[in-house]
Amino acid sequence: QQQVRQSPQSLTVWEGETTILNCSYEDSTFDYFPWYRQFPGKSPALLIAISLVSNKKEDGRFTIFFNKREKKLSLHITDSQPGDSATYFCAASYQGGRALIFGTGTTVSVSP
């Protein structure tokens, strides 16, 4: 079964809008949650990450919001640009786990 779930599977937004990507998990032992971005034809690369000690992590136009009680995260991309068009993966790991478990990804298309 999928330990890390993402929604929606895909979405299209207009340039300048805020894109919101959702992620949820079941395992209470998960304590580190990175987001990876994959451009078409390229390999995934780390975009931004948050740990259990934080509720929010910001890096430029990218912000992670973390609801620990509901085991949900969201990635917000403000002022979305066509260059943000990519697939975004939420991932999780637990202390000592030594590996990342990825979600199924959300493909974002930003129209000019």
Min CB(75)–another protein separation in Å: 15
Q: Give the DSSP H or E segment for 102.
A: strand 101-102
Min CB(80)–another protein separation in Å: 22
Closest CA relative to residue 76, chosen from 56, 105, 91: 56
Kindly indicate which of the ranges 22-30, 36-44, 52-60, 71-79 contains the residues binding another protein, using the contact rule CB under 8 A. Answer: 36-44
Phi first, then psi, for residue 31 (nearest 5°) are -140, 5
Q: Are 35 and 47 in contact (CB under 8 A)?
A: yes
Kindly indicate which of the ranges 11-19, 22-30, 45-53, 57-65 contains the residues binding another protein, using the contact rule CB under 8 A. Answer: 45-53
Among 14, 53, 69, 98, binds another protein (CB under 8 A): 98
